[in-house]
Every structure is written in C-alpha cells, then in structure tokens.
Amino acid sequence: MKLNGMKKMQRKTGVNLLLVLLAVTLLLTACGGNGEAAIPEDAVAVVNGTPISNQDFENTLALMKMNYEMEMGPGFFDEPDNEEGMTLLDTIKEQVLERLIFTEIILQEAATHDIALNEEEFNETMEMFMGFIKDDEELMNFMEQNNIDETYFRREMEKELLMMEFQDYYLSYIEVTDEDAQAYFDANPDLFTFDQVAASHILVDTEEKARELRSQLDEGADFALLAAEHSTCPSAAQGGDLGSFGRGQMVPAFENAAFSMEAGDISDPVQTEFGWHVILVNERINETDDFEEAKDYIISQLRQDQLMAHIEALRESAEVQRREGL
C-alpha cells in the first residue's frame, strides 16, 4: 500500500530522526588491525576487545536500507555502485560497519572520563521518541519484521547522547586565544572574502547573432526582453537572469568575462561550449569580513579542528578487527 503524502512524510521524518541519532559526522576509513581471528561468531567486529554484535549491524543496516528506499524507491541495491563492481548495498554495509566501530571507539573514550547521562532527562527523551515511532503503524510493522525492538532504540539513543556529551566535555577543555584566531584569519584571507557576480545573459548559436543583439543593446534595447525572445538558455524565462554565483561555478570563459566586468557592463560576445553569450553584470558583490566579525566563528572552528584531531588519534590507536564479506 502506498503512503499518502502526510503519512509518508511522517514515516520519513521518523526514520530520518533515528538516522540522525545514529549518524557519524566523520567519513571513516579502515583503522587499526583487520584480522578475523579474534571475532566471535555472533559479532561483525571487535574494537579494543569489545565485540559489535551481528544483531546491531543487521538492525542498523535495515534502517539505512529503508531510508534509501523511501528516497529512491526499491530495487536498486544490486546495481553496480563503482568501478570495483561494488553494489550500493555493499557500500551501505561498509558505512554501517564503520559507523558502529566509530561509535564504540568514542563510547570507550567517554567511559574513561566517567561521562554519563542524566537518567531522568534520558527517560523523558526516550518516551517522546518512542511515542513518535509507535504512532506509525507501518514503521512498527517494519521493526517487528526486522527484529528491531524498543531495547535496541533505547541503547542506540543512549549511545548517541553519550557521544554528544563526550563532544561537549572535550570541547569545554579546549582553549583557543584571540591570538590563535588572528593568526588563522591572517593566514586564510580567501575564507573571509565574499566575491560574487549577479548576472544575466543571452545565449545564441552564432557569433553573428550575438553581435547583432549586442548592437541592439548599444542602441538602448531592453536586455531582459531580448533574452526572453532570443536566448536558448532556460534562463530566458527570467529575462536571462542567472542570479548570483561565485568563482568556480561557471565555465572558465564565462566566469573570466563576468568577473572582469563592473555592475552595468555588457560584454562583447563570449564563446563557450554552450554557444555564444552576451553577459550583463547586474551587481558585483565583493565583501571582506573584518576580524571581529569572524572571530567567534574562527574560535569555534579551531576548537572543532582540535576535537577532530583527537578523534582521529583515537581511531588510529584503536585495535579493530572486522569481519570480511558481510
């Protein structure tokens, strides 16, 4: 039975909420050891001596697949996903395994600092979350079919909230001075410069046609009207308006012309792989943040960088065995 619009949105929101709770912000690659000798039969991996169960892997995989099916429709998991012949399902399995390994590494580190949840607040969160899920009959049926119970959700919720607590704990001990922020600002000027062009264009097939239109513009013709009548680009419906764009978003010849002009300028014909363009620059946007405007962002970013470096060090030092051929 197909979901109606409201029901589908509710179901999708429920699963996406869970996936957010399970999500890992770091794209992982293999870390630590990779043998199978120490992996119990009912586990998919062992992290510093702690096994990750087959059931946790299967539950997380089922939810991930469900999310993909809601986005893209069923029946595409067996299609090749890359040049090595891996299918999308193979790729998803790898992502799920690395996510579970990453979570276990962080939880072990959190335990060394005695990080714990407020039990009352946690129970309130779980009550709200489970109430949302139980309102969705089809999601409940899916959970039953895949042996996903409330215990699993509770455990995963606890893990994710502990990971957030660990992040907050670690960040609270990271000190970044104004001098550190100033040095970063001075070393990365491009990050704090906003350079864009707002432009319109008329696209035609020949240079002759482009020059004819350019002459009409010199004589006072309205750019938007000419674009609507003559341009072969879909932007003709908006009078040729392309909105604003930064460097690297247009093909080189078009970009070079647009960024060499000032507001109100109209270009000579410019050739690209798409044809011949006459470009009108509507606005030049070139702004640079001063240090005081950027300072809070820089300090936050530098603290996050230190957190990521610490997490990377934890991954590299972890002893991990993975089961092959999942």
Place 90 in a pLDDT band, splitting at 50, 70 and 90.
confident
The more confidently predicted of residues 191 and 256 is 256
Tokens of 4: 């109606």
Q: Where are the alpha helices (DSSP H) in 23-149?
A: 54-72, 88-112, 119-134, 137-145
Place 71 in a pLDDT band, splitting at 50, 70 and 90.
confident
Cα 236 from Cα 226, distance rounded (Å): 9
Beta bridge partners of 285: 196
> Is the pTM for the entire model greater than 0.75?
no
CA proximity to 129, closest of 168, 160, 94: 160
Q: Which of 272-276, 284-288, 315-319 shows the lowest per-residue confidence on average (mean pLDDT)?
A: 284-288
What percent of the chain clears pLDDT 90, i.e. is strictly above it? 59
Q: Looking at residues 6-23, what average pLDDT do you find?
A: 40
User: 197 with 248: CB under 8 angstroms?
Assistant: no
**b/e per residue, 149-180, with b = 16+ CB within 10 A?**
eeebbeebbbbbbbbebbbeebeeeeebeeee
Q: Which of 2-11, 61-70, 152-161 has the highest mean pLDDT?
A: 152-161
Q: Which of 59-73, 96-110, 226-240, 296-310 shows the lowest per-residue confidence on average (mean pLDDT)?
A: 59-73
What pLDDT score was predicted for residue 190? 83
The more confidently predicted of residues 197 and 131 is 197
Place 221 in a pLDDT band, splitting at 50, 70 and 90.
very high
- The yes-or-no verdict on residue 44 having pLDDT over 90 is yes
CA proximity to 17, closest of 131, 176, 109: 131
Q: Looking at residues 165-179, what average pLDDT do you find?
A: 94
Strand positions, DSSP E, the chain: 43-47, 50-53, 193-204, 241-246, 270-272, 275-288, 320-322
Tell me which amino acid residue 189 is: P
Q: Cα torsion for 246, 250, 252, 258, to the nearest 10°?
A: -60
What pLDDT score was predicted for residue 85? 61
What pLDDT score was predicted for residue 25? 38
